[in-house]
Amino acid sequence: MRFAFTDDQLMFRDAMADLLANECPPEKVRWSWNDDNGRDPSLWAALAAMGVVGLTAPEASGGLGMNEIDLLPILTEAGRAALPAPLLETTAVVIPLLAESAPDALAATWLPSLSDGSAIATVSLEGQPFVSDAHIADLLVAERNGSLFAVPGANLRLTPQTSVDGARRLFTAEWDEADAELIASGEVAAAAVALAFNRGAVAAAAELIGMAERMIAMTVEYVVARQQFGVPIGSFQAVKHHLADAELKVSFARPMVWNAAYALASGEPDLDRSVSMAKCFASDAAEVVARKALQCHGAIGYTTEHDLHFWLKRSWALAASWGDAGWHRRRVAALLLD
Amino acid sequence: MDMRFTEAEEAFRAEARAWLEANVPHGLPSGDTHEGFALHVEWEKKLFADRWSVVSWPEEYGGRGASLWEWLIFEEEYYRAGGPQRVTQNGIFLLAPTIFEFGTDEQKARFLPAMAAAEDLWCQGWSEPDAGSDLAGIKSRASRDDAAGGWVINGQKTWTTRGAFCNWVFGLFRTDPDAARHSGMTYLMVPLDAPGVTVRGVERLDGDEGFAEVFFDDVFIADDLVLGGVNNGWGVAMATASSERGLTLRSPGRFCAAADRLVELHRRLAATGEHPERVASLREAVAQAWMEAEAYRLATLADVSGMVEGVSQGARASLTKIYWSELDVNLNETALRLLGPTAELIEGSAGAIDGGAWMKAFEFSLSGPIYAGTNEIQRNVVAERVLGLPRK
């Protein structure tokens, strides 16, 4: 038994954190809010050059051949930085799906270019109303009527949908089957879809943990510096208890997310339950932390001039994506009680 | 990351499971009454006889030298088998780690085997009428008696769990009244049958005489009952307090077993077809409570993974204490909501479901956020020592 990351995994995480500190400071997130396209190819190229984008792709396809446990700390850093890029869609969901379930020729077409960052992928499963980053996607992996299709980005008819998180880019996407290639159908597709959904949920949970940790750190910094009545507001017990509650929520969601990544990587039989526990707890934790962070920042946090709202809004969005806390809690209830 | 136990650990689990299934007593009365306590002590002696009472201790003191992982496995199996809460817990989980760390060889030999055998039964004397969360405010005094080679104790301890049934108390006493608040205290071990000790039982919220007040009136103890040195009591006591707040007192096994029983209760009530709206409306609440126990189990696995590599929990132990105590309340509250109007029926009532055990457990759980440092104090500790907020 060792429920912890390896030194190598933590070094990779630190390298990711360093890269994002340079390439994705809050100014980059603000730029993404204000830019029409909102995506910086040089940032994606930097992530690809470090191996992050192709992390889950087989080595034969130019990837690192790593698993969901290796990816988890990387995604947490992406959340911490509020990274405006489709790492979840491309690296956590689409690349492993193509590697496992696509016909060889199709996988060979896409995996090398996705791994080296020259192509970008996104995903749309049934029940998910919006496709994120479809405007920059070279490939959409989409579920339709129980089958999975690969749709070239050029063949998508997109209608933008505006998210509360201005750095997110959401669309409704229409496409014709004649313009798409079949990845899988029947039971193979059903299994691939179920796994893709679980991977997306765990990846979102990992990002939510990073976002929550960042919001706590920002808030601690603020309440230590901010003085009222002649003392730091962080010396007031009411403020301390808000932050202690926030730390409590994250501290007991975090091991749930690790456990779900482990379940994915090792194919545990209770995978669905582990995944739902993780997403449920991470969503709840991020929402509580967001509220506490805003409350402790007071009025400055209620402006868009302050950076906090990048994380508030991303956490609201991700908490509701890939199944919100209620959906996952109901899935756990069904698995336990029925 | 590898969440499998070794073959040796699984063999240990199998051995523990087999023994527990064959020996765990069912239907014991509360251990917090005179009659019940005696029966629980019999169970503790049985555990000791087959070396299951203190598995993590070295063999020379009655244990099995079990690793931290094996200890967790044992606890999981103990509660899965329906084992009762340990009436020896203040000794084996709180005092013993302190004796192992601070005790002399003579003290270890004198106290540990008798504790493991449930011959010495220990309660803890922290709180006083004017010193609860503010533990450094204690006033009970121990004065030096050089001629007799010992200490003379005067004062009062209170909320002493199972004080009315135990024969020893450990606690903090002020030995230098002129020293600063956190100095001048000494950790002493006192026999409750010593002349000058008076114990008065106090009925707790759940109706059991589980509490006691302990009065000391010129009680003499010899020097060999000082643990960890004169005027070092605060540091010694903090070592014990972190055991209580952290891992050792509250293994996940108890909560996971209770969470499984809650799931079983929901299934049982759903199967009757009665009160379908109430039962259906609580599905998510039951799942939430079960998940909280699971989160605690997983967090413990992460903590222990750090501990075996030498990373101490430190002030994060306060997060642990808040979490287990609040999940325990939520678990039992959820069960009471499932029971609806029958929830109020207690032990001895013919209509009570599960013998009124859920209300009993709920009442017991309500002590969790209060004892071992209230959760308000723990939240201050988290804010100041985990997050770094200013004390003032």
Mean pLDDT calculated for residue range B181-201: 96
pLDDT digits (tens, 9 = 90+) for B281-291: 999 999 999 99
> For helices A237-266 and B283-307, what crossing angle results, to 10°?
90
Q: How far apart are the CA of B298 and the nearest CA of chain A, in angstroms?
A: 6
Cα(B74)–Cα(B13) distance, integer angstroms: 7
Cα(A61)–Cα(A102) distance, integer angstroms: 14
Closest by CA to A74, choosing from A20, A32, A31, is: A20
A289 touches chain B (CB under 8 A): no
pLDDT interval class at A316 (50, 70, 90): very high
Domain for residue A283, yes or no?
yes
> For helices B252-272 and B68-80, what crossing angle results, to 10°?
30
Mean pLDDT calculated for residue range B105-121: 98
Mean per-residue pLDDT over chain B, rounded: 95
What local confidence, expressed as pLDDT, does residue B319 receive?
95
At B79, give phi and psi (nearest 5°): -80, -30
A221 touches chain B (CB under 8 A): no
A225 touches chain B (CB under 8 A): no
Is the confidence at residue B244, as pLDDT, over 70?
A: no
B273 touches chain A (CB under 8 A): no
Task: Give the CA angle between residues B119, B373, B321 to the nearest 5°.
Answer: 85
* DSSP for B115-150, written as a single string: HHTTSS-EEEE--BTTBSS-GGG---EEEEETTTTE
Mean pLDDT calculated for residue range B27-35: 90
ipTM exceeds 0.95, yes or no: yes
Neighbours of A134 (CB within 10 A): 25
- Return the structure tokens found at A178: 């004649």
| Percentage of chain A exceeding pLDDT 90 | 100
Domain for residue A317, yes or no?
yes
Q: B286: which chain A residues are within 8 Å (Cβ-Cβ)?
A: 333, 336-337
Mean per-residue pLDDT over chain A, rounded: 98
Q: Of the listed B244, B326, B333, B347, which one is catalytic?
A: B244
Q: Which range, of B145-149, B192-196, B246-250, B382-386, averages the lowest pLDDT?
A: B246-250
Cα(B171)–Cα(B189) distance, integer angstroms: 7
Amino acid sitting at position B164: A
Domain for residue A153, yes or no?
no
Instruction: Output the domain CATH number for residue A250.
Output: 1.20.140.10
Q: A239: which chain B residues are within 8 Å (Cβ-Cβ)?
A: 383, 389
Which among B229-243, B301-315, B336-350 has the top mean pLDDT?
B336-350
- Dihedral angle, C-alpha B255, B258, B264, B266, nearest 10 °: -90
Are residues B286 and A326, on separate chains, in Cβ contact within 8 Å? no
Closest chain B residue by Cα to residue A230: B392
Is the confidence at residue A130, as pLDDT, over 70?
A: yes
* DSSP for A235-288, written as a single string: GSHHHHHHHHHHHHHHHHHHHHHHHHHHHHHHT-TTHHHHHHHHHHHHHHHHHH
Domain for residue A305, yes or no?
yes
- Return the structure tokens found at A326: 């209620």
Domain for residue A246, yes or no?
yes
Are residues A330 and B283, on separate chains, in Cβ contact within 8 Å? yes
Per the annotation, the verdict on B203 as an active-site residue is: no
| Percentage of chain B exceeding pLDDT 90 | 90
pLDDT digits (tens, 9 = 90+) for A36-56: 999 999 999 999 999 999 999
At A261, give phi and psi (nearest 5°): -65, -40
Mean pLDDT calculated for residue range A183-201: 98
Residue B212: in which H helix or E strand, if any? strand B211-222
Cα(A55)–Cα(A9) distance, integer angstroms: 12
Are residues B322 and A244, on separate chains, in Cβ contact within 8 Å? yes
pTM here is 0.97
Within the 60-79 window of chain A, which residues sit less than 8 Å (CB to CB) from chain B?
69
Closest by CA to A30, choosing from A261, A305, A278, is: A305
- Which residue range(s) make up the domain with A198? 189-337
Domain for residue A116, yes or no?
no
Domain for residue A143, yes or no?
no
pLDDT interval class at B254 (50, 70, 90): very high
Cα(B322)–Cα(B320) distance, integer angstroms: 6
Coil, strand or helix: which one is B310? Answer: coil
Closest by CA to B83, choosing from B55, B104, B123, is: B55
Is the confidence at residue B124, as pLDDT, over 80?
A: yes
Sign of the alpha-carbon dihedral angle for B144, B145, B150, B153: negative
Are residues A336 and B391, on separate chains, in Cβ contact within 8 Å? no
Q: A262: which chain B residues are within 8 Å (Cβ-Cβ)?
A: 1, 3
Is the confidence at residue A202, as pLDDT, over 80?
A: yes
What local confidence, expressed as pLDDT, does residue B245 receive?
60
Give, in order, the Cα–Cα distances in Å from A294 to each of A236, A308, A323. Answer: 16, 8, 24
Give, in order, the Cα–Cα distances in Å from B151 to each of A214, B154, B163, B216. Answer: 53, 10, 21, 12
Domain for residue A83, yes or no?
no
Q: A237: which chain B residues are within 8 Å (Cβ-Cβ)?
A: 376, 380
> Based on the structure, what is the number of domains in chain A?
1
Amino acid sitting at position B224: D
Cα(A127)–Cα(A16) distance, integer angstroms: 32
At B122, give phi and psi (nearest 5°): -105, 140
For chain B, domains (ranges, CATH) are: 7-87 (1.10.540.10), 122-233 (2.40.110.10), 246-386 (1.20.140.10)
